[in-house]
Structure 1
Amino acid sequence: MKRYAYYLSCINEAMTKEVDRSLELWQNDLGVEFVRMHESVCCGGSNLDYVSPKHFALVNGRNIALAEKLGLDLVTSCNTCLLTIRSAKKKLDESPALRDEVNGILHKEGLEYKGTSEVRHLLWVLIEDVGLDLIREKVKVPLSNYRIAPFYGCHILRPSTLLGKDNPLEPSSLDQLIEALGGKTIPYEHKNKCCGFHTLLVAEDESLDVAAEALGEAIDAKADFIVTPCPLCHTVLDGYQSKALKKANIKDSIPVFHLSEMVGLALGYTPRQLGIKRHIVT
């Protein structure tokens, strides 16, 4: 049994509870255990570093230190949490002075940032640790009847100097997982584009235009559903889908699944068990 320190992202705790619900169902089937870090705090998204770099380093150094205390790598199912925490780790690893300052505060609660735990995405764990061969063996309900549009999202691909697992221009990891689960991937231009989430509150029209382009292309390619490894991308592509498609005058819709739900379906769990009924578009 491979064990990981599972970072509880804000979006999953509040809006996309089905991500963790489905993950809990199938983790043992694939020989992994995600130990929830209930003492972790918000990573600050893509904003805290600009407002207060020291607090950014502190809260994420603490998150990593909690994983290090368990002797485990930190794993997240949110792309933005991935980029944010890896960014903080890079700053702490490259600056002894910053690391000492952060540890001076962390020591008050018996924690220390050492830099020994890796920060990884759930998708990477499935590909690298569980392995596609084992996943193929465990499939009970192959997704062979489905044409699936993978939507990677920005923060698992870019910047490649910090993430480095996929070619940001031609990513393949999610495609490989879909195929291992028996599904058929469709090639489409927007699979590695932005979903528009991070501009939604300040430039809604532009955000909806971006989302509609991805949704419309997947619909035109006759995909049965979109799958994404990011709950923020899911929030836009599912929750704001009706608004985006209406604005683009597209008279159709397409379901959007979380990565953990797609895996659960292939492992034999029902849509009800996986929480898919929580989606806006089903």
Structure 2
Amino acid sequence: MPTQTLRYAYFPGCVAQGACRELYQSTGLLAQALGIELIELKKAACCGSGTYKEDSQLLEDAVNARNIALAESLNLPLLTHCSTCQGVLGHVDERLKEAQEGDPDYLAQVNGFLAKEHCSPYRGTTEVKHLLWALVGDYGLDALEERVTRQLSGLRCAAFYGCYLLRAQKSIPFDNPFQPESMEKVFQTVGATPVEYPGRTQCCGWPLSSYAPQESFKMAGKHLQDAIAAGADCLVTPCPLCHLNLDSRQPEVEKVIGKTLKLPVLHLSQLVALALGIEPKQLGLERHVVSTQPVLQKLGFIN
């Protein structure tokens, strides 16, 4: 285990507190099992999932500077379990840190909006970190392996990184944005078998779903079919928006592509928590649209 208790300012985001409540649930249980302390940022606002900048870059920066400043006021890194939140918050953090050096007037403008709301200014003193990076980089895979009480042997897991986690920022820790391995390493650490397939680093189609659903569902369908063809028992994603398109909308995807899929899609926190001995009923696995029973059967939880 890490020599000191890991503490984070926790930014759960909005989807995990609504449509994907099981992600919020499983992240809390996972952190508790690992001895990680999460201090939830109750006053944080939605990151905007990339939509604010369509109206105004300044709007996106001001809203998320405030979110980051809330973590800075606790002298803690900001932790999110959503790839989209990581992409938006991480990119804003990069941009504002660059503004400290190259465009202080712009940063002063951003902080002016925060001052009007009686918020602490953005200081650029912390970092934005996805749960995956925290597990791999801060907690460490060796320490994680020590906490595994139930090897997920025989389960073939296909990672779905998506796009925001890997390419929204100029640099990411602990991985290669074009040939990532961190999720596969986590799978191996908990005893599961990683499955490679072409679409694991591509967009799930969610950003298109509101105005071009057919195209969105075709994209999701291709990734799901490729994972099935590669022998995956399940898809595992670090993003609730990807989860919505790949799991919640899988019945609609099936209608568009004219094929039956029924591929379970797990949140990263759910998969790891299973290996730590947390029972499926505690992790909200029954909330998924596509039944997770085949996964639980393969792991011996049910007959």
Same fold, TM-score > 0.5, yes or no: yes
Q: State the identity %.
A: 40
- Counterpart secondary structure, 2:53: helix
Q: Give the alignment partner of residue 106 of structure 1, picking from 106, 114, 125.
A: 114
Is 1:48 equivalent to 2:52 in the alignment?
yes
Q: Deviation at 1:223? A: 1.2
TM-score (norm 1): 0.96
Is 1:57 equivalent to 2:35 in the alignment?
no
Q: Deviation at 1:203? A: 0.8
Matched residues in 1 for 2:52 and 2:130: separation?
21
- Counterpart secondary structure, 2:73: helix
Q: Deviation at 1:110? A: 4.3
Matched residues in 1 for 2:159 and 2:208: separation?
22
Matched residues in 2 for 1:66 and 1:160: separation?
21
Q: Tell whether the 8 Å contact from 2:147 to 2:276 is kept in structure 1 after alignment.
A: yes
Match of 2:227 in 1: 218
- Counterpart secondary structure, 1:58: helix
Deviations 1:18-73 (A, max 9, x none): 11101111213212111110000011111111202222111111000000001100
Q: Which moved more, 1:155-164 or 1:89-98?
A: 155-164
Match of 1:171 in 2: 180
Matched residues in 1 for 2:159 and 2:273: separation?
16
Q: Deviation at 1:279? A: 0.5
Is 1:197 equivalent to 2:206 in the alignment?
yes
Is 1:34 equivalent to 2:38 in the alignment?
yes
Match of 2:13 in 1: 9
Match of 1:130 in 2: 139
Q: Deviation at 1:245? A: 2.2
Q: Deviation at 1:169? A: 2.5
Deviations 1:92-141 (A, max 9, x none): 22221121122223234141210001011110000001100011111111
Q: Deviation at 1:253? A: 1.1
- Counterpart secondary structure, 1:157: helix
- Counterpart secondary structure, 2:136: helix
Match of 1:21 in 2: 25
Alpha-carbon RMSD across the aligned residues, in angstroms, is 1.4
Count of aligned residue pairs for this structure pair: 282
Is 1:257 equivalent to 2:266 in the alignment?
yes
Q: Which consecutive residues of structure 2, in runs of 5 or more, have no partner in the other structure?
A: 292-303
Q: Tell whether the 8 Å contact from 2:90 to 2:169 is kept in structure 1 after alignment.
A: no
- Counterpart secondary structure, 2:9: strand
Matched residues in 2 for 1:277 and 1:200: separation?
24
